[in-house]
Amino acid sequence: MRILVIYNPTAGRRRLGRLRQFVRCLEAAGAAVTVAATAHAGHGRILSRAAWQAGTVTHIVAAGGDGTISEVADGLSGSDLTMGVLPLGTANVLAHELGIPFAPADNARALLSGASRTIWPGQLQTGTQTCLFMQMASAGFDAQVVHHVSLRGKRLLGRTAYAVQAIREAGRYDFPPLHVTIDGEACRTFGVVVSKGRFYGGRHVLAPEATPLRRGFSVTLLDAPGTGQMARAGLGLLRDRPDQVPGMRRVRASHIRLIAPACAPVQHDGDASGHLPLVISDAPFPLRIAV
Ligand SMILES: Nc1ncnc2c1ncn2[C@@H]1O[C@H](COP(=O)(O)OP(=O)(O)OP(=O)(O)O)[C@@H](O)[C@H]1O
């Protein structure tokens, strides 16, 4: 096996020891391993695409959080290489979703075993830019939080940084109505989360029926604005009871357009990704992930 590990040094907190242990385990089993650190946002995509096209590796591992995974996956779109995931990020939602081992030795064993699952990422298109997302994309209050949470806060507090930022945003976000079309049907909402998998923000269940193993999305819509509604949604999420939150509903869909207002922030897989308008659909190719 010739394995390229694409490592995001800014993901999570103090993860270098776990990366080194992972590499040692792979090398002990006879794999040839190269580690490439990302130097800037978007670099994961460039590195994975270059390695695939050079034909020099059998596996590419994204070592980081959900943002790193989606970048590396984006670069591999259309290839038949298996992508490994070493969860070193803050929330690591995809790893929870697919049951990917967090312990470096177990993760290396899983990669070496050859076990994999084929998943269908989502594709997000804003203007002329297109990228993949693996777990979810959203617009509204939570996207505002993601836009403003600092890297330093994430390093210091981990996932708690998002909760702290949510409290800050509650005082200044004005909940504009979002104009959306879902499989051609227009609606107005105050928050929209387009999910590929069940989990949100770690291991909290938002869309129990969603799975990245099939095409399409579960779309969560918030029918009412305001911090009270957000607090109820947050509590429902913490208790893994999204169906008991009044004013929050889900539909299955395959094509979602988020139209207006143009200032509304968007996030995917926990990273800021510009503003509306955008179009979400299935990625053109599935992706094989080591599990
Ligand atoms: N060298 C770098 N400097 C700054 N940003 C980087 C660098 N390398 C990668 N990035 C960006 O960091 C972003 C965040 O990384 P990632 O999502 O992997 O970690 P995280 O936010 O800690 O974890 P999670 O998404 O699981 O909560 C990525 O989307 C990527 O674009």
User: Could you read off the pLDDT of 74-99 as tens digits, one per residue?
Assistant: 999 999 999 999 999 988 999 999 99
- Helix H or strand E encompassing 285: none
Average pLDDT over residues 38-65: 97
Residues in contact with ligand 1 by the CB-under-6-Å rule are 8-12, 38-43, 64-68, 71, 89-92, 154, 269-271
Cis peptide before 261 (omega within 30 of 0): yes
User: Could you read off the pLDDT of 233-261 as tens digits, one per residue?
Assistant: 999 999 999 999 999 999 999 999 999 89
Is the pLDDT confidence value at 60 over 90?
yes
Average pLDDT over residues 126-153: 92
Q: What is the pLDDT of residue 22?
A: 98
- pLDDT bucket at 15, cuts 50 / 70 / 90: confident
Average pLDDT over residues 30-53: 97
| Separation between Cα atoms, residue 172 and residue 186, nearest integer Å | 28
CATH 2.60.200.40 fits 123-284, yes or no: yes
Domain boundaries, the chain: 2-114, 123-284
| Protein residue closest via CA to atom 7 of ligand 1 | 40
Calculate how far, in angstroms, residue 184's C-alpha sits from the geometric centre of ligand 1: 34
| Protein residue closest via CA to atom 10 of ligand 1 | 41
CATH 3.40.50.10330 fits 2-114, yes or no: yes
b/e 67-85 (16+ beta carbons within 10 angstroms → b): bbbbbbbbbbbebebbbbb
